[in-house]
Structure 1
Amino acid sequence: MHAEPNGQYGRIGRRGVLRAAGAGIGVLAVSAILSACAPQRPEGAEASDGTAARGSDTPIDTLTLALPSSLSTLDVSRESGILNYVVACLAQESLLSVGPTGKLGPGLAESWKQPDARTYVYTLRRDAKFSDGTPVTTDDVLASVEAARDTGSGLAYAWADVASVKATGAREITVRLKHPDAAFAWTPTPGTLLISSKAFLARNKGKVGTPGTLLLGSGPYRVTSFAADDHVALERNDHWWGERPSVRSLKLSFIPDAGTRLVAMKSGSVDGALNLPSDEARGWEREARVTYTGDRSVVALAFDTARAPFDDVHVRKAFAHAADRAGMTKGILHGRAEVASTLVSPDMWGDLLTADAVDAAYDKLPAWDFDLDLARAELAKSAHKDGFTLDLTYPSSGPQLGKAALVLAASLKELGITLNVKEATLEQWIAGLVPGKKPLQFLWYYPVTGDPAELTNAYLDSGATPTNLPHYDNAAVDGALAAARKTVDPAARGAHLMTAVTASAADLPYLPLWWAQTATAVTKDLVFEEPGPFALVGPWATRVKKTAA
């Protein structure tokens, strides 16, 4: 979904319900495998005009970009859609950062180490200040971690296995886990920790991220205004420790309607847009510089295996054969997508497994070819051979999901199944991403780490009750995920995670539809540098530049 989840998630990731909200940075297809070293053109980044524009240091006084949906809060612990991160990661930072290509790097911690399998030590940089001018201290970090661990926080799941978090020096924070968990290395990154000041959090408990309170952080920008149904405005934070950004003033306008967004671009009301569906992005190519980049996001159908009709595997298989996934990627996404064979895109495996090993494992996954005769045969084996009626809801910010649902509905009609396709606002859709609420749901997820466990732990582990939409329960899968948590060796850990992926495939708790790309558009006198798969989970506006002469 970080893509978009909330609540306590035990030791499993919640991102499920989160990033889901394709309210992020795009919605198209995936390309090359990400290597352990950051490529010059991340993950097949491709500009619509075939160029790789360079940026200059020319100042940009104001920049206005369109976003496809509104936000109800700026606090990612309360609403963690990808668009919430797009805003929050400009104003707030974490101990560590996730680079555009998915590599861990320094953040508010200038260095870090792991003395043993259960201990992580972070050394804060000396020059970090909040936008109000106060220094970032260990007390601020501890208070922010406690806020993330609070029972009302949607990030609490990521910290459930932490035994202690202490200041062990003037600039040193030490985290001790209850037991080894290799995935914790990604926890002190923006997806599950954004740091604010202790005083601000105490003064504004329950009000952080609201229009009246906004955010306080140490990032390159500070939020100056927020209207939940209209815009977010930000100004450059002159206290930021990093290199001074070119953009001084930034406005993110919420424009849900595709036609209105393009008119705004043509009229000069906006300088670009994030999160453009492929069919819409094509219409921008004449007016703007559109860049497509593999973002590792996944769109899938989640079948509730604990309730009828999807407690019957033959019904799930009938849906799988009735879904023309290749036609969806070609006709709806104009080829800027790849039919998905599982939730985890091949690029997510990074340096855990070689590309050849990933390809070999994925080649053995069920293909679920589009074939209505096979679909009829599977339905005939089920307890629902006479058909049934159910609903499928998609978010208004993801029209491509709605189009895919209509394509599926047309095929299912041939089987005697009525699928009612319904649209909801992004906020309504995220709120409805709760296991057990509906027998059939879309999973739309944007990863915010370079770790495949972000998806496997949240969506395949039976213990991940807040995000396990299908109520999926497989002892072999749970065992593989548990083994991966305890394993430090990258190759062994990758093997365990791949076992979980392959063991779950035949059960079909999800029908993966496609792995997508991100589409960003800016006026042709601007360039968005380093548009990698994780470009928006960090200080992305610092990479918007005037095009070099």
Structure 2
Amino acid sequence: MTSEPGGNLSRRRLLRLAGAGAGVLAASGVLAACAPPPANGTGTGPEGPATGALGADVPIGSLVLALPSSISSLDVGRESGVLNYLVAVLAQESLLSVDPSGKLAPGLATSWRQPDARTYVFTLRRGVTFSDGAPFTADDVVASVEAIRDPENGSALGYAYAGVSSVRSTGDHEVTIRLKAPDAMFAWTTTAGGLLVSSRAFLTRNAGRVGTPKTLLLGTGPYRITEFAADDHVLLERNDAWWGEKPAVRKLKLSFVPDAGTRLVAMKSGAVDGALNLASDEAHGWESSARVTYTGDRSVVSLAFDTTAAPFDDIRVRRAIAHATDREGMVKGILQGRAEVADALPSRDMWGDLLSAEKVRSGYDAIPAVPYDLDAARAELDRSGVAKGFTAELHYPSSGPQLGKAALALAASLKKLGITLNVKEITLEQWVAELGSGKQPLQFLWYFPVTGDPAELADPYLNGAATATDIAHYDNRTVNSALDTAKASADKDVRARELMKAVQTAGADLPYLPLWWAKTATALSKELVLPDPGPFTFIGPWATRIRKAA
């Protein structure tokens, strides 16, 4: 992995891609927290009331779930992969959360306000304790943010707080964060993707050792971690002091089982009760043995063209490749229909409460279409400076075989135009190191969002000022201005208008060719159920939602 200036890993560039190494586990969006229902079960939380018909009151003594890869640290600041978050969000919580519709919701903070464009004031939940019995205080939030901001800690989340000028306890149950400049997306930083709270005492006592098998984690979440064996498993037990509704599952074992065949055998033999985030070509084999659900996950796979490097600096070349890309065929053939052809980098589900689904669809319909058409591809190439063709390379990570299949399909299509595309599988670490390096002018972008805001993708990948993350090296004044306006505005209508303008304008320029928005599969024993699956279902303290089937 490469580092940002100042030693901070680029979470936008690496964290989502670390999820790829976890066998597309990131597709569940587990980096964002979902506000749990209240302890009295009255249904004021986003999940609504407990559903007796789904066995909400039936205890589940223990549960074993298979995960597709392993982790070496529980600390997301040390190892910011998706599996790390999947475990951490069960034990630790954030100030704010993301509800099932993709909107910001309460977490450890019951409410928040902005006295001005640069100030965020969070009112904290009362009566919360850490799993070791210590009371949760405002100072613990300050300590958790300070630990991320401290350059000596080298936290992978440090970049997210670069715009913070101060964080202070301004009351027994109040924290105030002051920014250097307005940032309309900052509230999302205080969800689990950017902040998981621990106690000052724990962080001080275990400085440099948080997340190890000996130290584990400390948080206020519904579970406490009791054992961690790197490369093998994590054991968790229910935290009965948790402020939310008591989970049905008392004990949980997360087993790291990287081999797909071994996972399926374990399910059929009863060694595991399910598996999370199965690849689309694997999931079908589980349907006879488990309850398999498919949900859109907001992730995007796209081609990224270096718009400053020949021949991809020529939009006619980019259009030729776009017309030669059978995206519908990829979705149907490679992904077995478990995906949707993408119109833009942010999926439609990422617009949250900024725009209605109808307005998002209308906005995306205005982006110039580039359907699969080899005649149109040939015409574009003939008008370019490389009419006779050229040779290029496209690398994909070994953890993303579906990307490799897509690359080979594209290579076969481009061959008909006289373009030679050499496809190569490399390790995840090599692939990440190449992103934005300028060494490979044609690359895959494989991104797993953690918010319900389209700026999460638009800002780092379309804004010319985002030199560390804009792997297409795309720089358009209209787009830059729209994104800057959206970032500085607290008005939702202004943000929606400017973000859509940026997405539409960039869409016409084709710095990226979005291929598909993926779906992910979750398999559980037929005796279990995960209610109301959707794009934000598998987020936050996800294990609290598992119930006995009716």
Instruction: Indicate the TM-score class for this superposition, using the shorter chain for normalisation.
Output: 0.7 to 0.9
CA gap of 1:70–1:7, structure 2 versus 1, over 3 A, is farther
Contact 2:307 2:511 in 1 (8 A): yes
Of stretches 66-75 and 335-344 in structure 1, the one that deviates more from structure 2 is 66-75
Q: Which runs of 5+ in 2 are unaligned?
A: 29-42, 44-51
Please state how far the C-alpha of 1:460 moved relative to its aligned partner. Answer: 1.2
Moved more, 247-256 or 485-494: 247-256
Q: CA deviation at 1:271?
A: 1.0
1:468 aligns with 2:470: yes
Structure 2 CA distance for partners of 1:207 and 1:6, relative to 1, 3 Å: farther
Quick one: which of 380, 392, 396 aligns to 2:395? 392
- For residues 465 and 514 of structure 1, what CA distance do their matches in structure 2 show? 25
Is the 1:13–1:454 contact (alpha carbons within 8 Å) kept by the matching residues of 2?
no
Cα pair distance change 1:218/1:184, threshold 3 Å: same
Which amino acid is 1:467 matched to? Answer: T
Note the alpha carbon deviations across 1:330-382, whole angstroms, 9 max, x for none.
11222222110100112222221233322222112122211223333333444
CA shift in 2, pair 1:178/1:413, >3 Å: same
Alpha-carbon separation, structure 2, partners of 1:332 and 1:207: 43
- Which residue in the other structure is 1:43 paired with? none
1:141 aligns with 2:141: yes
Task: State the alpha-carbon separation in 2 of the partners of residues 382 and 471 from structure 1.
Answer: 20
Most deviating of 74-83 and 328-337: 74-83
Structure 1 residues 419-469: Cα deviation after superposition (integer angstroms, max 9, x where no partner): 343445555544554543532322222221111111111211222233221
Partner of 2:231: 229
Corresponding residue for residue 199 of structure 1: 201
Counterpart check, 1:93 vs 2:93: yes
Distance 1:408 1:150 in 2: 45
* 1:15 is the counterpart of 2:17: no
Aligned length: 522
Give distance in 2, aligned partners of 1:84 and 1:167.
29
Listed as ranges, the matches of 1:269-280 within 5 Å are 269-280=271-282
Change (3 A) 1:98 1:438: same
Question: In structure 2, how many angstroms separate the alpha carbons of the residues matched to 1:542 and 1:284?
Answer: 23
The 3 A distance-change label for structure 1 pair 423 and 233 is: farther
TM-superposed CA distance for 1:125, in Å, is 1.7
Alignment partner for residue 310 of structure 1, among 309, 312, 333?
Answer: 312
Tell me which amino acid in the other structure corresponds to 2:486. Answer: A
**Which amino acid in 1 is paired with 2:90?**
L
Judge which range, 536-545 or 54-63, deviates more: 54-63
- CA positional deviation for 1:53: 8.0
Q: Which residue of 2 aligns with 1:496?
A: 498
Distance change in 2, residues 1:71/1:313 (3 Å): farther
Aligned to 1:104: 104
Give identity over the alignment, percent. 66
Whether the 8 Å contact between 2:129 and 2:241 is mirrored in structure 1 is yes
Contact 1:96 1:189 in 2 (8 A): yes
- The one-letter amino acid of 2:456's match is E
Q: Please give the alpha-carbon distance, in whole angstroms, between the structure 2 residues aligned to 1:206 and 1:492.
A: 43
Cα RMSD of the aligned pairs, angstroms, is 2.7
Among 393, 403, 415, which residue is 1:401 paired with?
A: 403
1:427-446 to structure 2, matched below 5 A, reads 429-430=431-432, 432-446=434-448
Within a 5 Å distance, the mapping from 1:71-90 to structure 2 comes to 71-90=71-90
Task: Return the alpha-carbon distance in structure 2 between the equivalents of residues 12 and 461 of structure 1.
Answer: 19
Tell me how far apart the structure 2 counterparts of residues 5 and 359 of structure 1 sit (CA, whole Å).
37
Is the deviation greater in 232-241 or in 257-266?
A: 232-241
Query: 1:484 offset after TM fit, Å?
Result: 0.5
Determine the structure 1 residue equivalent to 2:37: none
Map 1:473-484; keep pairs closer than 5 Å.
473-484=475-486
Higher mean displacement: 129-138 or 538-547: 129-138
Q: Is the 8 A contact 1:26 1:519 kept in 2?
A: no
* Higher RCO (CA-CA < 8 Å; seq separation 6+): 1
- 1:129 and 2:129 equivalent? yes
Bigger CA drift: 369-378 or 244-253?
Answer: 369-378
Name the counterpart of 2:47.
none
Question: Would the alpha carbon gap of residues 80 and 302 (structure 1) be closer, same or farther in structure 2, given more than 3 Å must change?
Answer: farther
Distance 2:506 2:211 in 1: 38
d(CA) in 2 for partners of 1:499 and 1:12? 30
Note if contact 1:484-1:497 (Cα within 8 Å) is conserved in structure 2: yes
**Residues 5 and 81 of structure 1 are in contact (CA less than 8 Å); yes or no, is this contact kept in structure 2?**
no
Structure 1 unaligned blocks of 5 or more: 29-39, 41-51
1:16–1:467 contact (8 Å) kept in structure 2: yes
Q: CA deviation at 1:204?
A: 3.0
CA–CA distance in structure 1, aligned partners of residues 446 and 250 of structure 2:
33
Number of the residue aligned with 1:36: none
The 1-side partners of 2:87 and 2:542 are apart by 10
Deviations 1:1-28 (A, max 9, x none): xxx9974699999434322434454769
1:63 matched to 2:63? The reply is yes
1:7–1:154 Cα contact (<8 Å) kept: no
Which of 177, 180, 183 is the equivalent residue of 2:179? 177
Task: Describe the superposition over 1:111-130 as per-residue Cα deviations: whole angstroms up to 9, x where unpaired.
Answer: 22222222211122222222
Q: Is the 8 A contact 1:389 1:418 kept in 2?
A: yes
Go from structure 1 to structure 2 and tell me whether the alpha carbon gap of 1:419 and 1:355 turns closer, same or farther (over 3 Å shift): same
Take 1:5 and 1:480, find their aligned partners in 2: how far apart are those partners? 30
Structure 1 residue 177: deviation in Å?
A: 1.9
Distance 1:368 1:223, change over 3 A: same
One-letter amino acid matched to 2:487: R
Aligned to 2:536: 534
Structure 1 residues 506, 230: CA separation in 2 closer, same or farther (over 3 Å shift)?
same
| 309-318 vs 182-191, which moves further | 309-318
Structure 2 counterpart SS, 1:316: helix
TM-score calculated relative to the size of structure 2: 0.88
CA distance in 2, matches of 1:430, 1:72: 18
CA distance in 2, matches of 1:6, 1:302: 21
Q: Is 1:158 matched up with 2:155?
A: no
* 1:506 alignment partner, SS class: helix
* Cα offsets for 1:127-160 (capped at 9, x unmatched): 2222222222222111111222234222222222
Q: Deviations over 1:233-287 (max 9, x none)?
A: 2222233222221112212222222222211211112111111122211221111
Residue type of the partner of 1:239? A
Question: Which consecutive segments of 4 or more residues in structure 1 shift more than 6 A?
Answer: 8-13
- Note if contact 1:435-1:468 (Cα within 8 Å) is conserved in structure 2: no
More displaced 10-residue stretch of structure 1: 496-505 or 102-111: 102-111
> In 2 relative to 1, CA 380–76 (structure 1 residues): closer, same or farther, beyond 3 Å?
farther
Instruction: State whether residues 453 and 497 of structure 1, in contact with CA within 8 Å, keep that contact through their aligned partners in structure 2.
Output: yes
Structure-2 residue corresponding to 1:344: 346
